[in-house]
Structure 1
Amino acid sequence: MKKIGDTFLIDFQYLPEILESIIWHLDARSVLRAKQVSCSWKETIEHLEQYNHLWRHICLRDIHRASLIDCIGFNPLSDDYQQKYSGGDDADFEDLWKNVYRSWRTGQTLSTFKQISYRISGFKFRYLYRIVQIGTYVYILTSELVLSVWNIDTGHRAVYSQQLKGIRYPYASRPIFPYLQYPLCKFSKHQDLTQHSLITPNYFGDPIRWWVFSDGEFRVTKVLYVGYENVMRVWHNLLVIASKDCIKVYILESKGKEYNFRLSMSKELPKNLLLKSIHVWDKKCLFEQQKDPYPGHLSIVIYDLDDLQSQVFQVSHGPKEMLGTNVKPFMEAPRIFGDCVLFRVSGGNKKKGPTTN
């Protein structure tokens, strides 16, 4: 402690516990600025980053849990994540969480009036059926069943292109699903195609296929035969398949070069669910029930994917009329976000006047 006039200055270099406590309570911008205070502050922050997971702590503290799950695609506090991804290089791990924060912060600053546009070239197609983004990589599947991959950070031309053979696909209602063995790799500056894999749905007797990039191309490493019409969704390491009779939950397992669909549980479904309304988010699966005859009402069923126990919810708080019109609104396209259910309100039929016999 030094005295200058009537003021005492504290050198935190000799009080490392207090300095670490101060840094631990700073927001992200203040942490970056604090690195410029002195060499001792910079060294202390780098120590906290490498050995105490400072940026993971900042993300968990400052980002709303639902927003964080939506950003990274899994729950970082779930038991399966803690067991599977607790190891690894600490420095690389911390850089990934710093990039998670940057990605979330960028999304907060973009408004509906700001857009990011990319121009891609180098291929011909009749129709684009599916576009899937994994980090800086964009996968585009065309009507000719050509899968092209772009890295939006490095250039406009495709870094890889391949004809997907042996499938009768695509069709509008069936998306392709990305799967990452280590989900945070999409925030890495050094990600490559070997870290990515794709799952394509079944169609008219075709199996569900798991494609992995190996030996310079995407290869089918595992197939799952489902002999009935269904809809499917992928969330983190879960594959959810729903048909008119039942719902099945599979665990996507990958270890080395071995891949497997492991059936975890199944349960019968009621007949009044709209299968195409399926939405999966953080171990919850939502279905819309048959349309309510009353405008402004919505009935949904949410299944817990840990035990497939269900809850039925009645939503009846929509506006009675669309603003400035006599059109009765309908609530549709429900989806889960944290502890909330979001839905879109759209116009229905106009009110009918009184009828006379």
Structure 2
Amino acid sequence: MAKTMRSIAAVGGGKVEIVRDVPMPEPGPYESLVKVRSCGFCSGTDFHIIRGEMAVPVDPFPTLLGHEGIGDIVETGSKVRHHRVGDRFMNPVFKKMPGLQYGVTWGAMSDYCIVQDQQAMREDGVSESEFNPSQNACRQIPSDLDPIDMGVLLTLNECFSAARNFTPEGKDILVYGAGPMGLATMKYLRHLGAATITCVDCVDERLALAKSLSGADEVINFATQDKDALLEGRLFDRVIDIVGLSSLLMEGSHRLRPYGIVGSMGVLRNTDAVLDVTRLKNNTLLQMLNFPYGQYDITAENVDLIRSGFIDPKDFYTHVRKAEQIDEVLELVRTKQALKVVLDFD
């Protein structure tokens, strides 16, 4: 009888379940079995999937969640030469085995995943058709980095790559959103030479972090302050929506200088995925980064920033919960009690 493992599945109706009948991956000759240690819960993408709100196609319910996994190799295939037991990886890949009764929307909220030794496959002349394209997101990271902290590494990579892609050096920047993505993006924007950063949100504690942690020059609480009056007559070089609302993209474009960029970074819902571009401000640019670009290739550079102390992953999550506490995780994120939650799979 095939071995099974735990996974977290979105089952429809805004609900999730721990399922224990998922076939455990069996590594092939060029594959290593990875024990998942942690997985970050994405307040945007994971919630949109759970609620059926994703604007891009995903597998139908029930579907296995998780795209921020961290794990360690516990077994290697017979032809693996460049990976060893104990090696730690970001974004190990879910492997569909016979008997799987679930869709897979990344699937790293599971006990086990795999990584391929693609270097060995190339050396041995293995056909490209045997390469798992999902492996392109997988990166080895130092094994001494805390696996819980690394549950936010992909989030930090996404923010670092987005900040760089928005070319912030010497620019005045307005950011909508001071959640974990907003805070980290502002930290990287400052690192990359932003001239000024203004942040808009509705949670005082997060706005305080925007100033103390991320170096925002000015914060505005739109729930208690007149945002439009405070911003009247002011123009920016970059306006970044990290909330995920088309209305903010429209509003943001009208706060731009000529040739300015409004950046779409927050994940849009399938009920809010149409933008009337005729209403955008003339002579401005719309840059779509709802799904980040370059977030995997920046891993080594980001690890160096973590080692240097410039980035402390603990600044960007507030709660750690076991996989069985996933319902509590949803409530913590929904009510904004948590900045970000990391799931512990040990």
The TM-score, its normalising length taken from structure 1, stands at: 0.24
Higher relative contact order (CA 8 A, sep 6+): 2
The answer to which structure has the higher strand fraction is 1
The answer to which structure has the higher helix fraction is 2
The TM-score, its normalising length taken from structure 2, stands at: 0.25
